Amino acid sequence: RLWVTVTPIVLVTFPAAIQAWAWERFRNPWGATVAVLALLFGEWVNRYFNFWGWTYFPINFVFPAVLVPGAILLDTFLMLSGSYLFTAIVGGMAWGLVFYPGNWPIIAPLHVPVEYNGMLMSIAD
């Protein structure tokens, strides 16, 4: 229940750190996106080997959260403004606000109604 609020707050630290390093050293505005893609690759390796490889748990129920739209927004705000403060305030807010809508396409198939033992519920239940 808390993944909508806790996950973006916890996960913004790694992209922000890589983004600050890449911007300060190389003036590349894509540090957050690279960090998120590397994190996503590691999460998929973890999901495959630990959930499917060990327990044969369905892989479509253990998908990692989609962080790429928020990372693209962070990089865009830094590229357009060039200010860490503006990126931290506005980009951080955009990161949190776009997190849940960015995951809707993955969550949507789990909210279709199904009948199970005479009860109508969603697959997510």
What pLDDT is attached to residue 5? 83
Cα separation, 6 vs 29, whole angstroms: 26
In 3D space, the residue among 51, 90, 53 whose CA is nearest the CA of residue 74 turns out to be: 90
Domain locations in the chain as residue ranges: 3-122
What pLDDT is attached to residue 1? 64
pTM of the model: 0.82
What pLDDT is attached to residue 65? 84
With a CB cutoff of 8 Å and minimum separation 6, the contacts of 6 are none
With a CB cutoff of 8 Å and minimum separation 6, the contacts of 74 are 15, 16, 19, 32, 87, 91, 92, 94, 95
Fold that domain 3-122 belongs to in CATH? particulate methane monooxygenase, chain B (1.20.1450)
**Residues of the chain predicted below pLDDT 50:** none
